[in-house]
Structure 1
């Protein structure tokens, strides 16, 4: 697991967030919920999509419900560091959105990192399982 640049891992565009939300369903871990979707090779217009990375792209959503700006920014900083350390667990071209719970702000960092790693391992296992399953027609 080598540390990776955060900028290459980030899911940025609103359209990408919307695609992940519509093409997947909400899943839950202890301290967060998450969505994930394989990145399509073609866009909605049929043209090949230009993407700078072949690995995962990860987005965070931390709403105002989570507290004041100071608290939200602290949650995001902690989550980004966990993502950076564990992004190597996912090798597939997948987009992931993480929704941390408010408890993440007080959670011990090692526990948070283990949970992010567990989520990423689960996503990788699910993608591998889907890839090995023969398509039924």
Structure 2
């Protein structure tokens, strides 16, 4: 099983950059932010980086940790869908704790496909010659 460690978003500044420069979108049970990393920020990790935010409003520490464990496993299963140097922050709703795990994996896969498609469009747009 592949490790998530090299693909984790860790620094507060990286989270803040993604919140400010990125787009916020919504899936059924998860809100997510994503932004293509600029070239000067790609040196440490060439591929995607994933961050999780689970606020205290989602329950006590036991519940939040369970949500994070389930989310990390769903991300690990679908990480291959992302190939661009993109930062993604997943912000689940409380209902993720009761959600069927296969459904959670499908939702994360759908999010990653959407993010990858947006990155592909952005790189094509940037590479297109100005007319």
The TM-score normalised by the length of structure 2 is 0.93
- Map 1:1-137 to 2 at 5 A: 3-42=1-40, 50-51=43-44, 53-133=45-125, 134=128
Secondary structure of the residue aligned to 2:39 is coil
Asked if the contact 1:33/1:100 (under 8 Å) is kept, the reply is: yes
Gaps (5+ residues) in structure 1?
44-48
The TM-score normalised by the length of structure 1 is 0.89
How many residues matched? 129
Q: Which moved more, 1:126-135 or 1:9-18?
A: 126-135
Which one has a larger percent helix, Structure 1 or Structure 2? 2
Gaps (5+ residues) in structure 2?
none
Asked if the contact 2:23/2:35 (under 8 Å) is kept, the reply is: no
RMSD (Å) for aligned C-alpha atoms: 1.5
CA 1:132 to 1:69, structure 2 compared with 1: closer, same or farther past 3 Å? same
